[in-house]
Amino acid sequence: MSDKANEHTVEGIDKLRSLVKEINTCLFCTNLKTNDGATTRPMGAVKVCDKGNIWFFSEKDSDKNKEVEQDSNVQLFFAHPGKGSYMVVNGAATIITDREKIEELWSPVVNIWFKDGKNDPNISLIKVKPTSAYYWDTDGNQMVNFLKMAASVATGNNYISGNEGEIKI
């Protein structure tokens, strides 16, 4: 990676939004003090709002929600190896049960996890307000980068290019 950038405010939120939309699924880590991996689970992000908050659906009685209530600090690890896009987000999570917000963010895909749909009494949202974020983007697709890597190994020159930087929200 050669180009480092600091993405600020509106540009930062746009970058965050585009990476979350592109990658969507992340490893959502709670209970960071234990650092044992048992409190890490895959989650699909629903939306990045205009303030840069990342939204997820969750069950009210889940271990994840209980862990967030005990300690709001979370880490989100997004990775799309096929596109060479990666991002880590540190943030503060909040459990939201506002029915209007659930209605606003609802999509038919979420129905898979909530048997009574958007009226399921066990439905909640998790809002993650990022405190820091860092990204890595590799230019080109996986096959192009494989060829660039092979050429780099053969010649001793680095032909892989991309961008990385802090996202400021």
What one-character-per-residue DSSP string does 54-111 give? EEEEEETTSHHHHHHHH--EEEEEEEETTTTEEEEEEEEEEEE--HHHHHHH--GGGG
Query: How are the residues of the chain apportioned to helix, strand and coil, as percentages rounded to the nearest 5?
Result: 30, 40, 30
What pLDDT sits at residue 38?
A: 80
Geometric angle at alpha carbon 45, from 1 and 62, rounded to 5° = 125
What does pTM read for this prediction? 0.83
Fold observed for domain 3-167: Pnp Oxidase; Chain A (2.30.110)
Q: With CA atoms as reference, report the closest residue to 134 among 24, 18, 15, 11.
A: 15
* Strand-pair partners of 43: 26
Give the tens place of pLDDT for each residue, 67-88: 999 999 999 999 988 778 899 9
Give the tens place of pLDDT for each residue, 88-107: 999 999 999 999 999 999 99
Q: Which range is least confidently modeled, 77-86, 118-127, 141-150?
A: 141-150
DSSP 139: S
Domain spans of the chain, in order of start: 3-167
